[in-house]
Amino acid sequence: MSLLAVRAAAAAAAEAANRGKIRSRAVRALSDRTMRFLLFCAALFSIVTTFAIILVLLVETVKFFSISYAAPLAITQGDTIASIEAAHGDAEVLAPMNHGIWPPTTLDPGSFVNVPTTPSVVDFLFGTRWEPLLGAERHFGILPLVAGTVMVTVIAAIFAMPIGLITAIFLSEYARPRTRAILKPILEVLAGIPTVVYGFFALMVITPYGLQAPSRFLTGLMLDLGILRPDPIDPGPSAIFGGFNAMGAGLAVGIMILPIVSSLSEDALRAVPRSLRDAAYGLGCTRFDVSTRVVVPAALSGITASFLLAMARAIGETMIVALAAGGLAQLTLNPADQMQTMTAYMVQIFLGDAPAFSVEYQSSFAVASVLFVMTLSMAVLGSIILRRFREEYE
Amino acid sequence: MSRASFADGSVTRLSPPRRTPAEIVASAAPKSAARRVAVNRAFLITCLVCTTLAVLVLVVLLISIAFTGGHWLMAVDRVAAFDSAWSIPGPFGSLGNVAAFVGAGLVALLSILLFAPLKLSLRRVVLSVFLVALALSCWGLWGFIRTDFFTEFASRFPHKAGIRAPLWGSIWVCAICGIVALPIGIATAIYLEEFAPKNRLTNFIRLNISNLSGVPSIVYGIIGLTAFARLFSIFGTARDQPGFEFGTPEQWFYLRLPFGSGVLAGGLTLMLVVLPIVIISSQEALRAVPGTLRQGALAMGSTRWQMVWRMTLPASIPSIMTGAILAMSRAIGEAAPLLVLGVPLFMRRTPENLMSDFTVLPLQIYRWAADPRQDFRDLAASGIIVLLVVLLSFNAIAIFIRQKLQKQLQ
Amino acid sequence: MATFKIVALSLFSMLLVLSLGLVALTAAPQDLGKLPRSSVRIDGSSTVYPITEAVAEDFSKVAPQVNVTIGMSGTGGGFKRFCVGEIDISNASRSIKKTEADHAAVAKIEFIELPIAYDGLTIVTHPSNTFVDRLTVDQIKKIFSATGGVKTWKDVNPAWPEKTITVFSPGTDSGTFDYFREVTVGKDGKMRSDMTVSEDDNVLVTGVAGDPNAIGFFGCAYYFENKDKVRAIPIVNSKGAAVLPSHDTVTAGAYEPFSRPLFIYVNRKAADRPEVDAFVRFYLEKAPKLAEEVGYIALPESVYGTAMTNWKARRTGTQFLDASGNPVHGPVTTTYK
């Protein structure tokens, strides 16, 4: 190695000499300093990007909370136009609903007027109805969208984490080098497939053949065996899962993050020094004992970091859920229902479902902020765990 | 916490391990032998099942897509004739067509053998056979492929639809993305590995980069929309009154401020997505260059920059290329950020200048997949086949370069 | 190293050949027309989208140097862009509203109104749903309004099963939505809020096709294209007959109240550009045939004649709003002159 170094260094020096241009020390120092500065600017670009993300999301979210839109307010006994206007910050009361004449001569209790309202932060963060586009009232409670995201992520995690971890253990502890050489590229291929393809797969293969067909088979079986009573109107076997459902999308997201979990966990497992393993083998442990009691606990911080990173990726996944999970934002625990995730809602808005610069349009930025905070905290948590709890054995 | 000092003056903190090695090994103290062996065997079976499941998923994915999408890519009449008769006129006669299928089988087998460790002479033989088989299969298969799919635009008739506009859109956008992302990414990696002093700013930059790699791509789309397409609304929003123009629409470098949702804005948005990947893989490439090489150059009197430019960078270029190829394959497959940019639904035109509207292959697949008619879903599968072929060849090249390098370094 | 070079070289040359072949295929010389290299920007209703798409596709075969781009932001979304001058033509599945006409006037944008086809707005359900054999307008109102309180099929008709209804609807920016709301719950009525909403009618078709308890509505072209996936519900008209949408029932006026005309609105200033003029003339010539092909119903020949006359005369303003700003209903032949 050192011979190589000397040879290479000598070649560089000789090349400079042959060019007849051994530059003066000052010139070299200047070019060194210039390049250093340029490279520093390039490195700053990443900081600029982060600041740009935070700034843009912050500005647009603030805009969201300050746009006023017309929300109905029920009229109770004793309300007058003046009192309503005073109560709502002197804002002008807009046209009433269910009345034909304006200005109204009487305000009947039980009817409604529209008052300008701005979305409130508390309602946004803790509200349970997300109905920004339709309906008698507009609701901007983000919990249904968060529930959709969490449901899809949890299904993906339940699928990907055990299989990914076991695959990683297999690759690092059990597999021969030849098997590794074949399997690793296969997993990398899985990692490189675009997410649109997984969305298509969820819609066309997972839902009809993986979920609906087995459900029909099982319910048909249960009907035949008498476990299920047949429905009087629709007595055949039921598919249980609708065309859009959270389960199919969740499984597709799980397939997508499987290679992330397995390759990062495998890196963490291989970083554990051989001496630990050898000592355990020397005591007569089987491979299983070594893997589960020695290697995995030693690499636990890396494995946890890989789980968190994979979950961050799953939370931010867009195309799969846009194609397969559905468009109804509802707070439900049933994975057979369709659920709208945060990213799917943003796609719906940006594909033109709302006029530009209106409150619905701005709501997608607010949702993006929440999404960003969620993924950022997972990534930061992952790096903290990695740095703090990593076991060093040197 | 204890500190460890190294020869070059850098200091790092070591936290004591949570358990001593003796404790770890002792906790794995053996119990009944037969039970442990049985447990071990059961776990091995579990491992095999899991790994097979992972591989099976990939196989099912590829087969289902091939089945649904295959028929739009193939010239239907020729395939039908092949079903009925074993020899049909192809570009080079029936021999070529038979060789196509033989070659395809050989390709599959040999590509597996390729990644296994073999003796050098045997390897050369295997490689030559692989190349011949590949050439023959391409030769023969070419007669089957329906080239209309690549030359036609999207249409309301499935049998007339093609991917011409998204194909060229993808090429333009990914070219711009690569031209912008690679220099910035590699420069950042060089700075972080070679020049950065060990202070808080450097740690902050590193933290930033690892956080940026976890940001969802749709958020990058929002940034691209605000910062590149609208340029923070400095120049107004109406499309027909550009704040500033440079060149004419006939020239490819026509610039208009604000950029609008053209290929330039799309390429820059993808650059944001791809940059963290390029940086991280370039960092690893630079780290793999042995420190002795660097020390040698410095000892001979070169400046740091000279050392990097003439020594480290050339040595690490193959690894950097691998990382760049993988980053580009990610860029080709991204659809979400470009969706946010506002790509039009119906495009019967390939991009002509930097401000042209465009569409990309993943987005066209998305539109076709969302159409409830089965023919369009099959078209989506055909588009996916094209996309996957491009991506898999990129991946194969990258893996190959990396395997080659591992041999060299050993 | 030698093998590496061989392999790299051969892979590279294969890629080169492939890409050259691709370039040769796609860079074929194009037809030159008299029109300049230009673009026509269209956006708006997803109902009208299939017709405009068909026209644009045929037009681009004749004049490939004109780049026609079409978006699908919904009728309302299209009008919002139209009224600030962002697009040249707005696809609309309803006539322009008073507020939108006022916005255009404020922005000094004049528009030319052209009806181009009939649509029989279809209400659909899943094919396995056989018990819903007909619906009256009152029942539809009950299902879709915010105050109807309908959660299951039983709430609509006690003979039907107690299964929860999943509702699919176009979004608020959709002209189909506006028209449907006006006909069922009234202009000021409110629709229920727990519907799956999308501007893209394809999503609605997929949704209804995948859920046995679904109900949804969209333009009839989407129904005819997907007859194997969804089932249309016959609507009881004012004469008491339960009618399915079809070419004959819509033309004869038997399918009511959900027959409606579809429009395009063209920016008056854009009309001066030769490519826009050529495109609109092509549209009016081909609309009868292409509308039928796509699944809608062609208007009577006389209406297309009137439209062409109005276009040539560049007649601006809308004839579908009365003096107080309310939309005018009735046969297109009487309203549009």
Q: Where are the domains of chain C?
A: 32-118+261-335, 122-257
Q: List the one residue out of B53, B36, B46 whose CA is nearest residue A166.
A: B46
CB contact under 8 A, C210 and A242: yes
End-to-end CA distance of chain B: 36
Collect all residues of chain C within an 8 Å Cβ-Cβ radius of residue B168.
Answer: 26
A97 lies within 8 A of chain C by CB: yes
Which of helix, strand or coil describes residue B161? coil
Q: What is the mean pLDDT of residues C110-114?
A: 93
Subunits adjacent to chain B (3 or more Cβ pairs under 8 Å): A, C
Instruction: Kindly indicate the confidence band of residue C2, based on its pLDDT and cuts at 50, 70 and 90.
Output: low
Please check whether residue B346 is in contact with residue C69, taking contact to mean a CB–CB distance below 8 angstroms: yes
CB contact under 8 A, C56 and B348: yes
Query: What confidence tens digit (pLDDT) does each residue in C22-67 have?
Result: 554 444 333 336 788 888 989 888 889 999 999 999 998 888 888 8
Q: What is the pLDDT of residue A89?
A: 65
Query: What confidence tens digit (pLDDT) does each residue in A1-48 have?
Result: 556 666 666 666 666 555 545 667 778 888 888 888 999 999 899 999
Q: What is the pLDDT of residue C30?
A: 33
Work out whether strand C38-44 and strand C89-92 pair parallel, antiparallel, or are unpaired.
parallel
Query: What confidence tens digit (pLDDT) does each residue in A69-105 have?
Result: 777 777 777 777 777 777 776 556 655 544 444 555 5
How far is it, in rounded angstroms, from Cα A87 to Cα A115? 10
Q: Please report the sign of the dihedral spanned by the C-alpha atoms of residue C291, residue C294, residue C296, residue C297.
A: positive
Q: What is the mean pLDDT of residues A381-390?
A: 80
CB contact under 8 A, B238 and C85: yes
Instruction: Kindly indicate the confidence band of residue A219, based on its pLDDT and cuts at 50, 70 and 90.
Output: confident
In the CATH hierarchy, which fold is given to the domain comprising A68-117?
Answer: Membrane-bound Lytic Murein Transglycosylase D; Chain A (3.10.350)
Instruction: Kindly indicate the confidence band of residue A220, based on its pLDDT and cuts at 50, 70 and 90.
Output: confident
Same fold, C32-118+261-335 and C122-257: yes
* Cβ neighbours of C309 (radius 10 Å): 11
Q: What is the pLDDT of residue B67?
A: 74
Query: What confidence tens digit (pLDDT) does each residue in A238-267 have?
Result: 777 878 889 999 999 999 999 999 999 998
CB contact under 8 A, C194 and A355: no
A70 lies within 8 A of chain C by CB: no
Collect all residues of chain A within an 8 Å Cβ-Cβ radius of residue B377.
Answer: 200, 204
- pLDDT < 50 positions in chain B: 1, 82-96, 238
As a whole number, the mean pLDDT across chain A is 82
Instruction: Kindly indicate the confidence band of residue C237, based on its pLDDT and cuts at 50, 70 and 90.
Output: confident
Which of C9, C10, C23, C26 is the mutation pick for testing B, counting most B CBs within 10 A?
Answer: C26
Q: What is the pLDDT of residue C26?
A: 44
> Residue C18 pLDDT > 60, yes or no?
no
> Residue A394 pLDDT > 50, yes or no?
no
Spacing of C-alpha B297 from chain mean position? 34
Task: Print burial letters for C233-258: b (CB count within 10 Å at least 16), e (below 16).
Answer: bbbbbeeeeebbbbbebbbeebbbbb
Domain B158-409 has CATH 2.40.50.140: no
What is the least distance, in Å, from the CA of A31 to any CA of chain B? 8
Report the CATH architecture of C32-118+261-335: 3-Layer(aba) Sandwich (3.40)
How distant, in Å, are the alpha carbons of A111, C82, C172, C190, C266 from that of C73? 34, 11, 11, 22, 17
Q: What is the pLDDT of residue A7?
A: 67
DSSP3 helix / strand / coil % (chain A, rounded to 5) = 65, 5, 30
Parse chain A into domains and list their residue ranges.
2-65, 68-117, 143-388
CB contact under 8 A, A232 and C161: yes
What is the least distance, in Å, from the CA of A167 to any CA of chain B? 5
What is the least distance, in Å, from the CA of C62 to any CA of chain B? 13
CB contact under 8 A, A205 and B60: yes
- The amino acid at residue A378 is M
Please check whether residue B366 is in contact with residue A196, taking contact to mean a CB–CB distance below 8 angstroms: yes
Please check whether residue B155 is in contact with residue B246, taking contact to mean a CB–CB distance below 8 angstroms: no
CB contact under 8 A, B218 and A297: no
Q: What is the pLDDT of residue B71?
A: 65
What percent of chain C shows pLDDT beyond 90?
Answer: 26
Collect all residues of chain C within an 8 Å Cβ-Cβ radius of residue A134.
Answer: 169, 171-172, 191-193, 195, 197
* Cβ neighbours of C221 (radius 10 Å): 26
Q: Inter-axis angle of helices C137-144 and C175-184, to 10 degrees?
A: 120
Which of helix, strand or coil describes residue B295? helix
DSSP string, A14-63: HHHHHTT----HHHHHHHHHHHHHHHHHHHHHHHHHHHHHHHHHHHHHHH
Which of A233, A331, A337 is the mutation pick for testing C, counting most C CBs within 10 A?
Answer: A233
Parse chain B into domains and list their residue ranges.
33-146, 158-409
Which of A101, A111, A113, A134 is the mutation pick for testing C, counting most C CBs within 10 A?
Answer: A134
C259 or A134, higher pLDDT: C259
* Cβ neighbours of B55 (radius 10 Å): 16
Please check whether residue C61 is in contact with residue C233, taking contact to mean a CB–CB distance below 8 angstroms: no
What is the least distance, in Å, from the CA of B309 to any CA of chain C? 24
In the CATH hierarchy, which fold is given to the domain comprising C122-257?
Answer: D-Maltodextrin-Binding Protein; domain 2 (3.40.190)
What is the least distance, in Å, from the CA of C73 to any CA of chain A? 4
Which tokens hold the place of A325?
Answer: 């999970």
Collect all residues of chain B within an 8 Å Cβ-Cβ radius of residue C229.
Answer: 372
In the CATH hierarchy, which fold is given to the domain comprising A143-388?
Answer: MetI-like fold (1.10.3720)
Q: List the one residue out of B153, B179, B166 whose CA is nearest residue B358.
A: B166
Q: Inter-axis angle of helices A246-270 and B33-73, to 10 degrees?
A: 130
Please check whether residue B312 is in contact with residue B328, taking contact to mean a CB–CB distance below 8 angstroms: no
Q: What is the pLDDT of residue B95?
A: 46
Which of B27, B35, B39, B51 is the mutation pick for testing A, counting most A CBs within 10 A?
Answer: B51
Q: What is the pLDDT of residue C29?
A: 31
Query: What confidence tens digit (pLDDT) does each residue in A294-315 have?
Result: 899 888 888 998 999 899 999 9
Which tokens hold the place of A161?
Answer: 């984490």
Please check whether residue C157 is in contact with residue C139, taking contact to mean a CB–CB distance below 8 angstroms: yes
A120 lies within 8 A of chain C by CB: no
